[in-house]
Structure 1
Amino acid sequence: MDVRYSVNPRDFKRYTTEEVRREFLIEKVFEPDAVTAVYSHVDRMVTFGCMPVSRTVALDDGIDVWHNFGTKYILERREIGIFNVGGPGVITADGAEYRLGYKDCLYVTMGTKDVTFRSEDGSKPAKFYMVSAPAHKACKTTLLTIADARKVPCGSMEQANDRVINQFIHPDVLETCQLSMGMTSLKPGSVWNTMPAHTHERRMEIYFYFEIPDEDVVFHMMGQGDETRHIVMKGEQAVISPSWSIHAGCGTSNYTFIWAMGGENKTFDDMDDLRKTDLK
């Protein structure tokens, strides 16, 4: 397991490009028949990836659960949100099977002991992208298809940010302990996300970018509003955003991204907005 520690925003100002990428960028989310895991000490959020090709893969495959989590199984004190961004796949959670198509989501509650993943067709493997947050209460494991998501249009073509926010693991859609997740799709011709930028001091956020053409990239903006930095990202990569950092991006094409939040609360208007003209 890759462990990332918290970063002081004052120290961050002196980071080189290599250091910024090493601390915040998750370059490789999917590997065949394996689970990747990045543990962030920012709100103790964990990012997982699983691409089963030739076998069924367990969530704890290759992970020293006691050493990394101090529990008997990963979700003993955690909840997790799982999106499929590949071919059709099946998740089994404590014996119950859930079939996920492209862009479908499964919320799995705290206390779920056994979670496994398989693809329906190994030549077109499922790609399960996951984020887990600490939890103190059990909720209901729930499958949410892309059709079930609450659609919130926002932005405009004039500002190059015409997009639809798909709310999946969200207080208006599903009860959870503290995890929130959703997916935002930009329309052709739009390239900006989350602009004007903001921070939310009481919550961190993780972005996972996909549906980026091979020849295109996203410039993900981060840092404090008065001294920003950027990370150049390719498709199927994720980035960790501490609570003190803005999180916005501009692509050389339109794209889709999955956002995940965890922290002090789930109040979506609890944010500190920054005027575009005040960014530096």
Structure 2
Amino acid sequence: MEVRYGISPIEGKGLDTKGLRDNFLIDDLFRNGELKLLYSHIDRIIVGSAVPVDSLELPAGKELGTSFFLERRELGIINIGSKGYVTLDGVKYEMNNKDGLYVGKGVREVCFESDNSNNPAKFYLNSAPAHKEYPTVKIDMKYITPQHLGSLASSNERKLYQYIHPNVCDSCQLVMGLTKLEPNNVWNTFPCHTHERRMEVYLYFDMDEEGLVFHLMGEADETRHIVMRNEQAVISPSWSIHSGVGNKNYTFIWGMVGENIEFTDMDHIDNIKIK
């Protein structure tokens, strides 16, 4: 498990391109037959991926100081690949493309499988510390009613799907969802906002080889950017904006952990203040 420490806005101002990417970009996700985990000391989120050719099991690891992964944690899973299965303490859940799963504290065994190892599932993982046990909930993409946001005139017409959210299931502090931009729309999360009470991670995907997103970050008056490509994730500290513009439409998964689970708890930033 890779471990990264927090960066303050003062340090963030001095980072060059490599420094920004080393601290905030999560690359090398979704490798066939591998499970990758990254532990960030920013709100102690764990971000990862599992692409099972053979069965893969979620380990505990010394970094957690527990006997099993979910002893003191909760977990969100979204499959962005082909059909697969997640087995929780012997109970198997079928996971089709873009299906989600909330796994509560206390589940001992988490195993990942693909229906077809030649065309494997791609499980994206977000995990946060948890103080209470909540039941496992399967979230079928086909049953989610999306919110229609933005407009073609502002190049940000999109559909927002809530997965792990108070309207869907109980969780301690993890909130997750998926936003899909419509064709000919390229902007996400703009106008910008921050939320000092929560950090956030974005996973960008459904992009072709030429696709890219300029992910905007930093304080409103000290913006920076990281160039993102398909199936890369980026960490956004609570002090940073998190927005982006691509060369064509794309999809991204957002995951938040922190002080609360109020999706609308945002500190909006007027465009005139962006520098």
* TM category, shorter: over 0.9
Correspondence for 1:268 among 263, 267, 271: 263
Counterpart residue number, 1:154: 149
Q: How far off is 1:271 after superposition?
A: 1.3
Q: Secondary structure at the match of 1:195?
A: coil
Correspondence for 1:241 among 209, 212, 236: 236
Counterpart residue number, 1:140: 135
Q: How far off is 1:67 after superposition?
A: 1.5
Q: How far off is 1:123 after superposition?
A: 1.1
RMSD: 0.8
The alignment-based identity, stated in percent, is 48
Q: Secondary structure at the match of 2:180?
A: strand
Q: Secondary structure at the match of 1:47?
A: strand
- Pairs within 5 Å for 1:65-214: 65-214=60-209
The one-character-per-residue Cα deviations of 1:197-222 (angstroms, maximum 9, x if unpaired) are 00000000000000011111011000
**Aligned counterparts of 2:250 and 2:140: Cα–Cα separation in 1:** 20
Counterpart residue number, 2:58: 59
Asked if 2 retains the 8 angstrom alpha-carbon contact of 1:35 and 1:50, the reply is: yes
Uncovered stretches (5+) of structure 2, i.e. residues with no partner: none
Aligned residues: 275
Counterpart residue number, 2:14: 14
Correspondence for 2:245 among 235, 241, 250: 250
Q: How far off is 1:48 after superposition?
A: 1.3
Q: How far off is 1:66 after superposition?
A: 4.7
Q: How far off is 1:147 after superposition?
A: 1.6
**Aligned counterparts of 1:2 and 1:29: Cα–Cα separation in 2:** 12
The letter of the residue matching 2:239 is W
Q: Secondary structure at the match of 1:49?
A: strand
**Aligned counterparts of 1:232 and 1:246: Cα–Cα separation in 2:** 15
Asked if 2 retains the 8 angstrom alpha-carbon contact of 1:213 and 1:253, the reply is: no
**Aligned counterparts of 2:145 and 2:259: Cα–Cα separation in 1:** 23
Q: How far off is 1:276 after superposition?
A: 1.6
Uncovered stretches (5+) of structure 1, i.e. residues with no partner: none
